């Protein structure tokens, strides 16, 4: 089945509700910033950005008039300071905005900002996007339920996201995976199984290979790999359960075949259980923060009615949990999905405790 048939044609941007806005303020996500997404649209020209192989990256580098540039540079330096430092202007003299790139591909149409420290030539990226409630839920769920923390800011209609470093999945699969050792491929297969499970549980969709990155890490005398999502536009929107399972995208076929080649069925099941257990532990340790977020999502509109109807039926067919049939909003399905994982984990843990006590 092609992605065009799997995916909805166009996902609308959903407004941030007053309840979600209050949540963002409570947890220091809502901070006043000096520049907005619309300000960056005032560019006067652009050129195509090519990669090292002279291939179109689908980004264009934009330029501003001299008067606009001074104001925009100052605003972007301030955003950098808020996102990565204490928000003061004392570091401005050491910063230079090297590039502002614009992408017309996809839903979010982001600006990518490259800021360089002129003292040592170190640089960092961040993104400026239009706000979308489902994307904000995706970012916050990634922060709470994945192994990784995420920094982002929301103010009025503008969303600021930190850059997630790593090798784009499609680039890694094409250029680097063939050179990996057999043990490295087995470790990557394990990570893909866990990543696939994590996306499905928290309803993060459209994890095609260019929407996640591979992060190599040195551990003693060998390299280990982690997989991180970098695109959260399709959080809890689509009605097809397959969209929330990276294994069903053709761009990930190489990874899926590697799982089949390197892992036994029992190992795959073991890694799925491990990931569910880790997520359950994060749910239990998140305190009121996750509960508040999900309660807000339960009342919010972040998908289409027909998507809600289809997804709740498909998840019921998978879990046979009658509670899913009663859902009217996507946030309710998300809540039940997370609760299903938590309850299963607690049931198994309780059985183990009882078994030990009675000496079985």
DSSP 255-294: HHHHHHHH--HHHHHHHHHHHHHHHHHHHHHSTHHHHHHH
The pLDDT value given to residue 8? 61
Place of tokens 């996102």: 83
β-bridge partners, 216: 225
Judging by DSSP bridges, how do beta strands 123-130 and 45-50 pair with one another? unpaired
* Phi then psi dihedrals of residue 344, to 5 deg: -60, -40
pTM above 0.85, yes or no: yes
Q: How far apart are CA 41 and CA 158, in angstroms?
A: 12
* DSSP one-letter string for 216-240: EEEETTEEEEEEEE---TTBT--S-
Cβ(101)–Cβ(120) below 8 Å: no
Taking the chain (360 residues) in runs of 10, the rounded mean pLDDT of each run is: 59 95 97 95 95 88 94 96 92 96 85 96 96 97 94 95 96 96 96 97 96 94 93 96 97 98 97 96 94 97 96 94 95 96 79 48
Taking the alpha carbons of 23, 26, 30, 32 in that order, is the dihedral positive or negative?
positive
The pLDDT value given to residue 131? 95
Q: How far apart are CA 215 and CA 358, in angstroms?
A: 45
Q: How far apart are CA 352 and CA 355, in angstroms?
A: 5
């Amino acid at each position: 089945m092609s992605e065009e048939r799997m995916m909805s044609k166009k996902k609308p941007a959903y407004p941030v509700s007053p309840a979600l806005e209050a949540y963002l303020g409570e947890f220091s996500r809502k901070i006043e910033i000096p520049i907005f997404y619309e300000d960056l649209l005032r560019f006067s020209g652009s050129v195509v950005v090519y990669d090292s192989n002279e291939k179109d990256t689908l980004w264009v580098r934009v330029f501003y008039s001299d008067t606009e540039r001074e104001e925009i540079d100052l605003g972007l330096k301030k955003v950098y300071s808020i996102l990565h430092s204490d928000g003061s202007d004392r570091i401005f003299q050491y910063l230079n905005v090297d590039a502002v790139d614009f992408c017309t591909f996809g839903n979010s149409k982001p600006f990518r900002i490259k800021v360089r420290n002129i003292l040592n030539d170190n640089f960092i990226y961040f993104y400026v996007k239009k706000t979308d409630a489902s994307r904000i839920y995706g970012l916050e769920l990634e922060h709470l339920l994945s192994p990784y923390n995420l920094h982002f800011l929301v103010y009025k209609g503008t969303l600021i996201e930190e850059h997630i470093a790593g090798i784009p999945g499609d680039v890694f699969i094409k250029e680097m995976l063939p050179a990996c050792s057999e043990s490295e491929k087995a470790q990557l297969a394990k990570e893909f199984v866990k990543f696939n499970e994590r996306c499905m549980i928290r309803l993060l969709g459209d994890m095609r290979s260019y929407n996640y990155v591979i992060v190599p890490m040195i551990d003693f005398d060998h390299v280990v790999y982690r997989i991180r999502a970098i695109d959260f536009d399709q959080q809890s929107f689509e009605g097809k359960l397959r969209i929330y399972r990276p294994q069903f995208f053709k761009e990930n076929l190489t990874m899926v075949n590697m799982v089949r080649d390197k892992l036994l069925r029992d190992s795959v099941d073991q890694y799925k259980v491990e990931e569910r257990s880790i997520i359950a532990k994060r749910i239990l340790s998140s305190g009121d923060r996750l509960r508040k977020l999900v309660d807000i999502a339960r009342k919010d509109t972040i998908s289409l009615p027909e998507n809600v109807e289809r997804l709740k039926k498909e998840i019921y067919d998978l879990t046979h949990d009658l509670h899913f049939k009663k859902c009217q909003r996507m946030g309710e399905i998300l809540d039940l999905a997370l609760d299903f994982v938590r309850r299963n984990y607690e049931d198994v843990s309780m059985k183990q405790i009882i078994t030990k006590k009675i000496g079985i």
